[in-house]
Amino acid sequence: MKEQPLLDARQERPAVVPAPGRQVLADTRGRPLRDLRVSVTDRCNFRCTYCMPKEVFGKDFQFLERNQLLSFGEIHRLVRIFRDHGVHKIRITGGEPLVRRKLERLIEMLAYWSDLDLTLTTNGSLLKQTARSLKDAGLKRITVSLDSLDDAVFRAMNDVDFPVAKVLEGIEEATTVGLHPIKINMVVKRGLNERSVLPMARYFKQQGCTLRFIEYMDVGGTNGWRMEHVVPSRELVELINRDMPIEPVEPAYRGEVAERWRYLDDGIEVGFISSVSHAFCRDCTRARLSAEGQLYTCLFASKGTDLRGPLRSDASDDEISQLIGRIWTNRVDRYSEIRTVETAKLRKVEMSYIGG
């Protein structure tokens, strides 16, 4: 196995210390492996037009079978191995993670490591009924995806006629049970929900929640992405600043995805995730695990590496750890830095499969 380089500790967040005999892994560009996104299902109860369009993800679509999914025990084992390499942030995602049965059990298993920054991303549709059990299981904080407060726009975007009021009830319940902080992610697509930007900013400022605007990305191959559909963050900063003045905030740590800003009057933060207009590959410390155990080193990858096979064929922790080490130390990905109209047409893994 290739020698794994050590890292400059000054660039790091307060971290999980690698287990004896293990090191924080660094890739070919010196980027440490710090975050793991774990998709627990490829299914979702929404059909957001920019993510899982109905025409592709219809009733004939072949989702993963139950036995293809990693079990909670398998996920737990992998997280332990990643943590031993100093990974300290785990984000549970999907598909829609809250459609996976008994998810609280997995949260409980992972929350055992109190040094892990454990969080979850959800569309919020099932949050009202699950927030308390998630909190009781040990989840600390949560991110809710919400693209508009306008009921008609929201229903059209989720394409299953789901009312925005129910997501807001979920957010309220999450607040009540103490899942904190709650972050809200809004994808902005030109011509679809730009008019929702200011109402969203005003509402969540008032609620004291951090709202983050995400540029519409060319993930997957089914959403018909075009550059004209991207609303650059710069434009949103100006729009919000005219209405409610904001100022930039220093990043909290290397690899922070969102550019942070805060409102001058109350200090509430607002973020901008500019994967298209301002690539942040240079600092990307994230790996992604699909629900069936494929490991990806980039959101825009077309191919992953199977970890389920080794898990189910009695590979030892050491062998799996070395495999992960080889994958990460050979990593060269920097897709967003080299994106062109042509690369946008390449076949890439779907976001609903790999997780947000």
Whether 230 and 344 have beta carbons less than 8 Å apart is answered as no
Segment interacting with ligand SAM (CB under 6 A) among 65-73, 93-101, 155-163, 260-268: 93-101
217 binds ligand SAM (CB under 6 A): yes
Tell me the residue number closest to ligand SAM, measured at CB: 356
Report the distance separating Cα 47 and Cα 222, nearest Å.
Answer: 12
SS3 of 208-270: the string is CCEEEEEECCCCCCCCCCCHHHECCHHHHHHHHHHHCCEEECCCCCCCCCCEEEEECCCCCEE
Q: Which is nearer to ligand SAM, 217 or 240 (CB)?
A: 217
Phi and psi, residue 189, nearest 5°: -120, 125
- Residue of 32, 94, 255, 293 that binds ligand SAM (CB under 6 A): 94
Nearer to ligand SAM, 84 or 353 (CB): 353
The token pair that represents 204 in the structure block: 């969540």
What is the total count of residues that contact ligand SAM (CB under 6 A)?
Answer: 21
> From residue 147, how far is each of 123, 126, 156, 196, 344 by CA, in Å?
10, 16, 11, 8, 23
Minimum separation from the CB atom of position 6 to ligand SAM (A): 33
Task: Verify binding: residue 274, ligand SAM, rule CB under 6 A.
Answer: no
Among 219, 287, 289, 349, binds ligand SAM (CB under 6 A): 219
> What part of residues 279-338 is at the interface with ligand SAM (CB under 6 A)?
none
By CB under 6 A, tell whether 167 contacts ligand SAM.
no
**Using CB under 6 A, which of the segments 134-142, 195-203, 232-240, 347-355 binds ligand SAM?**
347-355
Chain residues 34-63 in contact with ligand SAM, contact rule CB under 6 A:
44, 50-51
Question: How many CB atoms sit inside 10 A of residue 348's CB?
Answer: 22
Choose, by CB under 6 A, the member of 216, 261, 296, 335 that binds ligand SAM. Answer: 216
Q: Could you say which of 223, 294, 297, 336 contacts ligand SAM (CB under 6 A)?
A: 223
- Beta bridge mates, 115: none
Q: Which residues form the interface with ligand SAM (CB under 6 A)? A: 44, 50-51, 93-94, 96, 121-123, 145, 185, 187, 214, 216-217, 219, 223, 351-352, 355-356
